Amino acid sequence: MYLLSEISTKAPGHLDKKEIKKQTEELLEELDSLQYLLYAEAKHAVLVVLQGPDASGKDGAIRKVFGSLNPQGVRVKSFKEPTQEELSHDFLWRIHQHTPGKGLIQIFNRSHYEDVLVTRVHKLCDDETAHLRFNAINNFEEMLASTNSTQILKFYLHVSKEEQEVRLKERLEDPTKHWKYDRKDFTESNLWDQYRKMYEDVFRFCNATPWVVVPADQNWYKEFIITQTLVNALKALNMKFPSLPEKPNN
Amino acid sequence: MYLLSEISTKAPGHLDKKEIKKQTEELLEELDSLQYLLYAEAKHAVLVVLQGPDASGKDGAIRKVFGSLNPQGVRVKSFKEPTQEELSHDFLWRIHQHTPGKGLIQIFNRSHYEDVLVTRVHKLCDDETAHLRFNAINNFEEMLASTNSTQILKFYLHVSKEEQEVRLKERLEDPTKHWKYDRKDFTESNLWDQYRKMYEDVFRFCNATPWVVVPADQNWYKEFIITQTLVNALKALNMKFPSLPEKPNN
């Protein structure tokens, strides 16, 4: 079980920012080749789940890590507050529609986990319902993996309360970040401890596909960890370019 | 465990066709009121799964039983051979998109069960994959029930081989049934015993939500059983018309 307070939100002190950035660039090139291979082979699907508090750097991670990949094989879906139509269905209904087909990388910017996070913090979901959902989530992820070769990678962007405050203030002060400003973010940041507790429940009960807790106070380290995790996961698939269906000279 | 060969495909001999038809008409009126209440209350969803061999009367059942209900609250989805896009996803992907929202009755004309029936008969799905799918189906149906109050009713239209042959021949001879003729149906009917075996596996392994085996050689009895099952299931939901959100004179 994770206790978030015991995990650092910062890069290990001995690391050299410049060196890590160089390594990230190399990994991104490798990721580009691996994504091409994933698309060509079309045997596996990859689902990347990005969760984290407001201003933990989800959008930035998507821009940096996935921004250089071929968009034909990469899709992003941001999950916002559900519509009336979505609320009339089970909570996985809108999620399942966006799971990746074979050959594709799908990024979820927020996800089905919001239904056991924000809803619990705001008392829209009681403990019993939360546990039904934990169970449903585990079965759902297991089904994607076992019946459609879906590799699921779940990242929690672990930012400190202090760093979050700095970033939320930037949204007020920097004109290029005004579009991200939302009065509600400040209200939500007051619920910091409750969010932490609910995240810890998620890590405890929905860990069949393990979570990667990414120290996210420094963007360069966050990007390095995500890219490295992706490269390693894709390499482990042992993919091959398909050969011709039959020899052309036959 | 069901052995289909031990279950009659015919109505019990003592039943009077005229009397049963009258009862069905009364039940259909009751169903109409219950569907209106389901729609108004919008607390439960109803999913009707219709399975059965070719010419077992699925289309006819839909026309007769659901044809008089308000189409605003009733939807039908027929699942045919999957597209390339559908095949690139897990087998429940295309199914989940059509599950009912609260207040609605959704009818599946064929369903996710085809992925452990026709695919197995034609050796497109091995036993190991079939058991992964049985498990996925059970979890999926349980999730719909527990997280979205979905009442699932699964009907197997149980027709005899002899009756099926009569009906398939009618498609050749009756001009109003030519549009239903498909050369493949005759090939499939040669696989009768294998389909039976695969259905028996379904009844054995996907029975958490029980199957209703409907004797289907006579349409009047088939329609009676389906309507009666629906009426009883809807009654058991103990639905109420919602009261006004606040008293109008307040």
Say if residue B246's pLDDT is above 80: no
Going by pLDDT thresholds of 50, 70 and 90, the confidence category of residue B123 is very high
pLDDT of the residue at B179: 85
Give the pLDDT confidence of B169-215 residue by residue, as tens digits. Answer: 998 888 888 888 887 887 887 899 999 999 999 999 999 999 999 99
Task: Write down the number of H helices and E strands in chain A.
Answer: 10, 5
Mapped onto helix, strand or coil, the DSSP state of residue A91 is coil
Cα–Cα dist A91/A69, whole Å: 30
Cα–Cα dist A243/A156, whole Å: 38
Q: Is residue A169 part of a domain?
A: no
Element (H, E) at A46: strand A45-51
Q: Is residue B45 part of a domain?
A: yes
Question: Distance from B102 to chain A by nearest Cα, in Å?
Answer: 5
Q: Is residue B196 part of a domain?
A: no
Residues of chain A with pLDDT under 50: 250
Question: Distance from B91 to chain A by nearest Cα, in Å?
Answer: 8
pLDDT top residue among B245 and B74: B74
Chain B residues within an 8 Å CB radius of A147: 90-92, 129, 132-133, 136
Give the pLDDT confidence of B50-105 residue by residue, as tens digits. Answer: 999 999 999 999 999 999 899 999 999 999 999 999 999 999 999 999 999 999 99
Cα–Cα dist A161/A192, whole Å: 8
Q: Is residue A247 part of a domain?
A: no
Going by pLDDT thresholds of 50, 70 and 90, the confidence category of residue B248 is low
Q: Is residue B169 part of a domain?
A: no
CA-CA distances (angstroms) from residue B102 to A215, B37, B85, B201?
Answer: 41, 12, 28, 31
Mapped onto helix, strand or coil, the DSSP state of residue B51 is strand
Element (H, E) at A167: helix A161-173
* CA-angle at A70, arms to A64 and A75, nearest 5°: 75
pLDDT of the residue at B120: 96
Contact by Cβ (8 Å): A92, B140:
no
Contact by Cβ (8 Å): B103, B73:
yes
The first and second tokens of residue B195, run together, are: 């389909």
Give ipTM to 2 decimals.
Answer: 0.91
Q: Do A144 and B90 touch (CB under 8 A)?
A: yes
Chain A residues within an 8 Å CB radius of B83: none
The first and second tokens of residue B18, run together, are: 């005229």
Q: Which residue of B has its CA nearest to A44?
A: B88
Residues B38-61: what's their mean pLDDT? 97
Q: Which of A47, A89, A112 to mutate to test the interface with B (most CBs of B within 10 A)?
A: A89
Q: Which of A84, A86, A90, A140 to mutate to test the interface with B (most CBs of B within 10 A)?
A: A90
Q: Is residue B99 part of a domain?
A: yes
Say if residue B250's pLDDT is above 60: no
Q: Do B92 and A143 touch (CB under 8 A)?
A: yes
Q: Do A92 and B143 touch (CB under 8 A)?
A: yes
Question: Distance from B149 to chain A by nearest Cα, in Å?
Answer: 9
pLDDT of the residue at B244: 87
Q: Which of B96, B125, B126, B128 to mutate to test the interface with A (most CBs of A within 10 A)?
A: B96
pLDDT of the residue at A47: 98
Q: Furthest-apart CA pair in chain A: how many Å?
A: 70
Question: Distance from B86 to chain A by nearest Cα, in Å?
Answer: 8
Q: Which of A90, A101, A136 sits opposite B89 (nearest CB)?
A: A101
Give the pLDDT confidence of B131-159 residue by residue, as tens digits. Answer: 999 999 999 999 999 999 999 999 999 99
The first and second tokens of residue B148, run together, are: 């979205």
pLDDT of the residue at A247: 66
Range of the domain at B85: 4-114+136-160+209-235
Q: Do A133 and B147 touch (CB under 8 A)?
A: yes
Q: Is residue A94 part of a domain?
A: yes
Which residue in A20, A74, A18 sits closest to A234, CA to CA? A74
Contacts of B46 (CB under 8 A, 6+ apart): B38, B100, B104, B105, B106, B150, B151, B153, B233, B234
pLDDT of the residue at B1: 58
Cα–Cα dist A128/A5, whole Å: 26
Query: Taking all residues of chain B, what is their mean pLDDT, rounded to a whole number?
Result: 94
Q: Do A139 and B139 touch (CB under 8 A)?
A: yes
Domains: count for chain B = 1
Q: Which of B38, B90, B97 to mutate to test the interface with A (most CBs of A within 10 A)?
A: B90
CATH, residue A33: 3.40.50.300
Chain A residues within an 8 Å CB radius of B142: 139
pLDDT of the residue at B249: 59
Contact by Cβ (8 Å): B157, B56:
yes
Q: Is residue B190 part of a domain?
A: no
